[in-house]
Amino acid sequence: MAENGAPRIRLGMVGGGTGAFIGYVHRVAARIDGDYELVAGALSSNAATALESGKNIGLAEDRIYTSYEEMAAKESARKDGIQAVSIVTPNHVHFGPAKAFLEAGIHVICDKPLTSTLDDARALAAIKPKKGAKFLLTHNYTGYPLVRQARELVKSGALGKIRVVQVEYPQDWLTNAADPGNKQASWRTDPKRSGAGGAIGDIGTHAYNLARFITGLKTEAVSAELTSFVKGRKLDDDVQIKLRFQGGAKGMLWASQVAVGSENGLQLRVYGEKAGLEWRQDNPNYMWITEFGKPKQLLTRGGAISAPPAASMNVRIPGGHPEGYLEAFATLYSQFAQVIRGEGKDVAGLLPSLADGVEGMEFIMASVASSKADGKWTKLSEV
Amino acid sequence: MAENGAPRIRLGMVGGGTGAFIGYVHRVAARIDGDYELVAGALSSNAATALESGKNIGLAEDRIYTSYEEMAAKESARKDGIQAVSIVTPNHVHFGPAKAFLEAGIHVICDKPLTSTLDDARALAAIKPKKGAKFLLTHNYTGYPLVRQARELVKSGALGKIRVVQVEYPQDWLTNAADPGNKQASWRTDPKRSGAGGAIGDIGTHAYNLARFITGLKTEAVSAELTSFVKGRKLDDDVQIKLRFQGGAKGMLWASQVAVGSENGLQLRVYGEKAGLEWRQDNPNYMWITEFGKPKQLLTRGGAISAPPAASMNVRIPGGHPEGYLEAFATLYSQFAQVIRGEGKDVAGLLPSLADGVEGMEFIMASVASSKADGKWTKLSEV
Amino acid sequence: MAENGAPRIRLGMVGGGTGAFIGYVHRVAARIDGDYELVAGALSSNAATALESGKNIGLAEDRIYTSYEEMAAKESARKDGIQAVSIVTPNHVHFGPAKAFLEAGIHVICDKPLTSTLDDARALAAIKPKKGAKFLLTHNYTGYPLVRQARELVKSGALGKIRVVQVEYPQDWLTNAADPGNKQASWRTDPKRSGAGGAIGDIGTHAYNLARFITGLKTEAVSAELTSFVKGRKLDDDVQIKLRFQGGAKGMLWASQVAVGSENGLQLRVYGEKAGLEWRQDNPNYMWITEFGKPKQLLTRGGAISAPPAASMNVRIPGGHPEGYLEAFATLYSQFAQVIRGEGKDVAGLLPSLADGVEGMEFIMASVASSKADGKWTKLSEV
Amino acid sequence: MAENGAPRIRLGMVGGGTGAFIGYVHRVAARIDGDYELVAGALSSNAATALESGKNIGLAEDRIYTSYEEMAAKESARKDGIQAVSIVTPNHVHFGPAKAFLEAGIHVICDKPLTSTLDDARALAAIKPKKGAKFLLTHNYTGYPLVRQARELVKSGALGKIRVVQVEYPQDWLTNAADPGNKQASWRTDPKRSGAGGAIGDIGTHAYNLARFITGLKTEAVSAELTSFVKGRKLDDDVQIKLRFQGGAKGMLWASQVAVGSENGLQLRVYGEKAGLEWRQDNPNYMWITEFGKPKQLLTRGGAISAPPAASMNVRIPGGHPEGYLEAFATLYSQFAQVIRGEGKDVAGLLPSLADGVEGMEFIMASVASSKADGKWTKLSEV
């Protein structure tokens, strides 16, 4: 049961077979607040792997599927069929299942980026979900309480008009050529499965989405430099982008998978006319805010400052007791459960949507185009 | 289902009614890894509160109890009765339920400190559990992966013979006299419900246990200064203790609930003949280790260093994606589930036990006695 | 006397009247290691101010001048005349005195950027100093021991081939329109005195020089976005630049004077094929280095790692006892004294030169040109 | 010349021959603000070393002495004789020269601890200096601007009544038995030259003095545990002390020279009824202050908060440009110069005095006595 006594939502999963990282994360996220029960899965397109993976996590055999089409058809026909599905496949297998389940009237929770091509993204945004099926894109970093609080601070005018946005997401795990046996690495560096972007799709979109989520600024254009440093790699592993926002704010975005010594160093800094703020994902329970001419203040999740409702509603435990990545991910699941149950009016605007997914794809394609055009300023609407 | 496909263990809860902090934490911890299903509860001794609290979290009405005795009797008689119970009441209501459930053959997960008196602790340690019922004391900080890794480092001899141990746990939430309406504060500052120790029982035992867990050193004696700074407070809110360990190591332990600016600043530093290490709970995904004469190294949970099995088995996600308090707590639940299911041979030695609980009570009583005797060095065995 | 017993070098100063920040810094830097004695000054072009300022710092009246031309003429004619001069005037008054003193055979220590125009810079580089007079440009951040050590690490190949360089210098002191009475702010925001660049000349050149000094990489081209956020400001107060280095490395440079909450946040991060390093000016006694696949290491100035000679020769005190900005500045003075006395063969390559100054001006002008051309990639040699 | 145009004070030095650390530090400190000129020295009791050392730093041969008695006699007889002397010898050679110079009417700047015995300390405090000669004890950490600001904050009542003081000074350089050739280590671990205390005299007194300086609290009694961890070492290398202050505040003091991974980790935390503050010497340009119930604030030296005069008068450069150990040391020299010149009324109360030196010796002796008496609470006045 959920902590509010509501019955659990019956959940299915596409992808996420044994050994897959992000499928596991989605399952934990679904469990933390007690809102979901995983009861069906098409965990792999390989039948034997699908069966073994399903058994490993305790699914009943008749609800272990080897294709998402079959799963969508059979589950939507069951009285106790799944109400929602998590799609945790590589990018090129987002569009098919998302379409299938939405058209079957089943709510969709989909990993990012939305798809592997912009056409797919736009097509997905254009379909008519059956029975009002809802969609959640798991830009999970937006679930951190202090990220929500940062967004509220900007909205409240505490920073004044925004001038400068610095966002970055350095990693180092692709410093060398990926071992062919590394599943995580191999599809992410393969244009057929990942799409036209490498680091930009995998982590650049997270950085971009975070900047957009917190500042609320709309993007005017990008000037990008995408590089593949590792010999033989077909997609970018380092991304340097200048951003122009509507209204005059300027930004820089750096994402890298070859920045030795970086694990998941997502960081955002926003400077307005009146104040600045800084937040890092690897120590997410703290955020700096500085009003011009005053000392820096260290806000803590669940700490001294009573956060606005949009930020505090997903604080689980007191300040100084750290919450992390899984809790932030779980917040998206939990608040999407509220939306599904019709309780979630206040949170709908906070949850990453299909529109955010389309914009993410536009950001990728505009950046790729700009980089090919020697950094020419390129509008997201031009691609 | 658990991630390994095992069916969920049926769990009950004593205490943890609506609004209680630690009961909520135990429920989340029980859910994270999917090993438990909460199906029964005696959430309050007040019948109306018990009923409402039980409904709030979706318990069936016939499994909402108003006394733990009734719950132990009825659940042990059911075919689908609970297999384990979480005890999350104030200290003086640990002994009764722990005894009742162990004697009913139901596994017990109990919050710390073990009891409110040393006699109770010793009595509890002396009973014979029915059907091999097991006991887990939730010294939750021992569940952090880097705490486990620190323990392995010490055991491996990487630090050499330990010389100095500095441990502290400052908070500030009791800086002023507690609001009588604050349930958390009121029982903790009431000798009848908390026992002879205030801060020393609530957080001092955590600090003590952490030092013991990581270093493996046995305690020789304590010299304590316990102070109540807030007017009218009956129990200590600041604890300053010198520690002598067997073999010659020396330690200092500070715990405070009036250290303004501190949230949950549990910190341990250990210095041996060859190396030193430092770890803080409020940023628990990092640990410093320094070999003498070499630069400091920053170890990360799930990071570059392949941790020994005892530490890595509870790493859920990659380095740089923070895990927190709830995950560490969940690790105790999950590994206790392994013990219950007979899978957990490797982890049994890692889980806090009844013996640890008795020693914690001895630590409290020896410290109280030493403080009353003007700081006289007092052995744990003397109380 | 210098610590090595050498007699003090007789020093003059141009600019640096009472209340001037950077003049004071130069005087302290000249004193720290005991290599200089300030004996003459043209501290202001205003006669009364010059006199009062000179008396305030104890100059003899006959060596207080009101023009640098007079000072160059008279001092070079004295038997006990100055051997070196510090030029600490606004940018547009660097060229004149530098030329005058070099041509008078007096060594020149000059604040950066070299001049206010690129023509001046090139003209200065072309003159023939009399009697082998030497020139030092005070890119003071290169004097930090760990900056020197970083340079040695790169040179030694410890990082492998460099791929990515991230450098930034955020400040916030020009967040609002400058008070007309603020001398520091008024000349820096005035194109007539500062030159074509605002933030880019004042702090962007420091960031650029630091990246160049540590990596040794040559610049291919820049793509710049210069912005004036404050209404009415004539020069840039925020600078966002992409850098292409010869050999394929890519960089980003951000300098801002409107980043609220930033004091002097100069920071450099360099990533190579084998290792990465990070250093910040506001806590300059520490540097991170991470070999790929190993834990991060924290190097300390004067600490466990025996630094190569080029880095350790300017460590004054043991690790953990911080040295700061003034000591780094003093290192340039002290090592320039070695050059003057003919002792400094080993250090000459470390000291910022006229050529560095010309390149700094090219960097400014190329960035200004690129920004005007909508971010077009612009070579330093094109301006 | 000093920055205020005053002529330099003629300075001598006792101890500080070539290779000595602290003598060098005193010389730099004397130079930074331009208030002193070193003109004479008895740098070693070995004639050859004294001569070579004197020449190395440029002293005239007739002012290089081999005994402090000779130096006191001859310099006080010269018209241009020294006005002040720095005593930078091992502890057991403080008393003799301090007495000799004070009685010769020469101001004394003396390293800490004051002497090697409490009798000497009291005898020194009892003598009558000739011609009003002044005395400065170089508890150099009191010269840090933020330490001064912390003191002002406490005095102003911003923290409310002080409850808890946590101070520590860990190092690791004596982790192993000292190399007999290490001069720094050998006298510090020799009771004949160091006195009855090892770590407690060398660094414990610094920690104690810092706590006293900032809080202004008077000490009631100490309960100490002094340990020699290294085999064969005659003096303590680890110090654990509980402190009772008059008025009820409680404290803990830890000093160690075997804490592997610590360089000079002097740290002070003070908690009052209304606020708490934290400061560390190894990053001294920052200080945390937290008002109860509000977010932590990070104060910076020279930063946003306008410090009270007692703290800001020794800020040399803007915030974000770090000052360090040498500047703090220089502040004592510079402000003592003001006292000598009769300008320093406002600073006299800030400078460590003979009385502070006597109290430091009482602290050492009381701690040694308490440790021998199994930690018995011991008053400073009892020794």
DSSP string, D226-286: EE--STT--S-SEEEEEEEETTS-EEEEEEES--TT-SS--EEEEEESSEEEEEETTSTTE
Contact D292 B250 (CB under 8 A): no
* Residue D310: predicted pLDDT: 66
- DSSP 8-state assignment for residue B143: G
List of chain A residues whose C-beta atoms are within 8 Å of the C-beta of residue D297: 295-298
Q: Which of C271, C290, C269, C296 is nearest to C280 (CA)?
A: C269
Q: Which residues contact A128 (CB under 8 A, 6 or more apart)?
A: A103
**Sheet strand arrangement including B84-87:** B36-42, B9-14, B84-87, B107-110, B135-137
For residue C334, the distance in angstroms to the closest alpha carbon of chain D comes to: 13
Mean pLDDT, rounded, for A151-161: 97
Cα separation, A228 vs A235, in Å, equals 6
Cα separation, A94 vs A123, in Å, equals 12
Nearest CA in chain A to B281: A321
Domains of chain C: 9-133 (3.40.50.720), 144-317+353-372 (3.30.360.10)
Average pLDDT, chain C: 94
Give D175: exposed, middle or buried? Use CB within 10 Å, 0-12, 13-18, 19+: buried
Buried b (16+ CB within 10 A) or exposed e, D40-53: bbbbbeeeeebbeb
For residue A175, the distance in angstroms to the closest alpha carbon of chain C comes to: 7
Cα separation, B152 vs B150, in Å, equals 5
Cα separation, B339 vs B160, in Å, equals 32
* Residue D181: predicted pLDDT: 80
Q: Is the peptide bond before C90 cis (omega within 30 degrees of 0)?
A: no
* Residue B197: predicted pLDDT: 93
E strand or H helix at A154: helix A145-156
Contact D323 C324 (CB under 8 A): yes
Taking 80 as the threshold, does the pLDDT of residue C266 lie above it? yes
How many contacts (CB atoms, under 8 Å) link A and C?
A: 122
Contact C295 B299 (CB under 8 A): yes
Q: How confident is the model at residue A128 (pLDDT cuts 50, 70, 90)?
A: very high
Which one of A315, A321, A323, A331 makes the best mutation probe of the B interface by having the most chain B beta carbons within 10 Å?
Answer: A321
What's the first-to-final CA gap in chain B, in angstroms? 45
Crossing angle of helices A118-126/A95-103, nearest 10°?
0
SS3 sequence of C35-89: CEEEEEEECCCCHHHHHHHHHHCCCCHHHECCCHHHHHHHHHHCCCCCCEEEECC
Cα separation, B276 vs B163, in Å, equals 10
Q: Which of C289, B316, B303, C162 is nearest to A263 (CA)?
A: B303
Nearest CA in chain C to B298: C296
For residue B253, the distance in angstroms to the closest alpha carbon of chain C comes to: 25
The residue ranges of chain B whose pLDDT is under 70 are 304-312
Taking 80 as the threshold, does the pLDDT of residue C313 lie above it? no
Q: Which residues contact A74 (CB under 8 A, 6 or more apart)?
A: A65, A81
Contact D259 B250 (CB under 8 A): no
Q: How confident is the model at residue A310 (pLDDT cuts 50, 70, 90)?
A: low
- Cα C356 to chain centroid distance, Å, stands at 10
Q: Which residues pair with C290 in a beta bridge?
A: C276
Q: Which two tokens stand for residue B252?
A: 């200092």
A15-29, C329-343, D224-238, D337-351: range with lowest mean pLDDT: D337-351
State chain D's maximal CA–CA distance in angstroms: 65
Taking 80 as the threshold, does the pLDDT of residue A307 lie above it? no
C81-118 pLDDT, tens digit each: 999 999 999 999 999 999 999 999 999 999 999 999 99
Contact A322 B322 (CB under 8 A): yes
Reduced DSSP (H G I as helix, E B as strand, rest coil) percent helix, strand, coil of chain D, to 5: 40, 20, 40
* Residue D127: predicted pLDDT: 95
D297-317 pLDDT, tens digit each: 999 998 866 566 666 778 999
Residue A215 to residues A148, B370, D291: CA-CA distances in angstroms?
11, 57, 30
A70-84, A174-188, A240-254, D192-206: range with lowest mean pLDDT: A174-188
Contact D223 B242 (CB under 8 A): yes
E strand or H helix at B269: strand B267-272
Map tokens 């805010």 to a residue.
Answer: A289
- Cα B280 to chain centroid distance, Å, stands at 16
Whether the Cβ atoms of residue D36 and residue D27 lie closer than 8 Å to each other: no
Q: Which of C29, C48, C26, C170 is nearest to C111 (CA)?
A: C26
Taking 80 as the threshold, does the pLDDT of residue C379 lie above it? yes
Predicted-complex ipTM score: 0.95
D145-173 pLDDT, tens digit each: 999 999 999 999 999 999 999 999 999 99
Average pLDDT, chain D: 94
Q: Which of D264, D271, D224 is nearest to D243 (CA)?
A: D224
Mean pLDDT, rounded, for D181-188: 82
Taking 80 as the threshold, does the pLDDT of residue C1 lie above it? no
Say which amino acid occupies C299. L
Residue D181: how many other CB atoms lie within 10 Å: 7
Cα separation, C50 vs C55, in Å, equals 9
For residue C295, the distance in angstroms to the closest alpha carbon of chain B comes to: 6
Q: Which two tokens stand for residue C42?
A: 């043209």
- C140 by DSSP, 3-state: which? helix
Whether the Cβ atoms of residue C103 and residue C41 lie closer than 8 Å to each other: no
A85-99, A343-357, B347-361: range with lowest mean pLDDT: A343-357
Q: Which residues pair with C223 in a beta bridge?
A: C242
* Residue D27: predicted pLDDT: 97
Taking 90 as the threshold, does the pLDDT of residue A269 lie above it? yes
Q: How confident is the model at residue C306 (pLDDT cuts 50, 70, 90)?
A: low
Which chains neighbour A (Cβ–Cβ under 8 Å, 3 or more pairs)? Answer: B, C, D
Q: Which residues contact B246 (CB under 8 A, 6 or more apart)?
A: B217, B218, B219, B220
- Cα B349 to chain centroid distance, Å, stands at 15
Dihedral angle, C-alpha B340, B342, B346, B348, nearest 10 °: 30
Pairing of strands D296-300, D286-291: antiparallel
List of chain B residues whose C-beta atoms are within 8 Å of the C-beta of residue C304: 293-295
Contact C323 D325 (CB under 8 A): yes
Cα separation, A295 vs A300, in Å, equals 16
Contact B304 C298 (CB under 8 A): no
What's the first-to-final CA gap in chain C, in angstroms? 45
SS3 sequence of B3-42: CCCCCCEEEEEECCCCCCHHHHHHHHHHHHCCCEEEEEEE
C124-160 pLDDT, tens digit each: 999 999 999 999 999 999 999 999 999 999 999 999 9
Pairing of strands A162-170, A135-137: unpaired
Taking 90 as the threshold, does the pLDDT of residue C65 lie above it? yes
Contact C320 D281 (CB under 8 A): yes
Q: Which residues contact D116 (CB under 8 A, 6 or more apart)?
A: D90, D91, D92, D94, D95, D193, D194, D195
Whether the Cβ atoms of residue D290 and residue D275 lie closer than 8 Å to each other: yes
Say which amino acid occupies A106. I
Mean pLDDT, rounded, for D173-185: 86
Cα separation, B302 vs D275, in Å, equals 37
Q: How confident is the model at residue D221 (pLDDT cuts 50, 70, 90)?
A: very high
Whether the Cβ atoms of residue A265 and residue A282 lie closer than 8 Å to each other: yes
Q: What would the DSSP string read from start to end of B211-222?
A: HHHHH-PPEEEE
Whether the Cβ atoms of residue B8 and residue B37 lie closer than 8 Å to each other: yes
Whether the Cβ atoms of residue D369 and residue D352 lie closer than 8 Å to each other: no
Mean pLDDT, rounded, for C268-286: 97
Mean pLDDT, rounded, for A82-106: 97
Nearest CA in chain C to D24: C3
Which chains neighbour B (Cβ–Cβ under 8 Å, 3 or more pairs)? Answer: A, C, D
Taking 80 as the threshold, does the pLDDT of residue C348 lie above it? no
Contact A304 D298 (CB under 8 A): no
D43-80 pLDDT, tens digit each: 998 999 999 999 999 999 999 999 999 999 999 999 99
- Cα D140 to chain centroid distance, Å, stands at 4
Nearest CA in chain A to B323: A324
Q: How confident is the model at residue C169 (pLDDT cuts 50, 70, 90)?
A: very high
Q: Which residues of A touch D (CB under 8 A)?
A: 293-300, 303-305
Cα separation, B77 vs C18, in Å, equals 90
Nearest CA in chain D to C25: D317
* Residue A306: predicted pLDDT: 57
Cα separation, C341 vs D275, in Å, equals 55
Taking 80 as the threshold, does the pLDDT of residue C304 lie above it? no
Q: Which residues contact B182 (CB under 8 A, 6 or more apart)?
A: none
Nearest CA in chain C to B293: C304
Q: Which of C17, C88, C89 is nearest to C46 (CA)?
A: C17
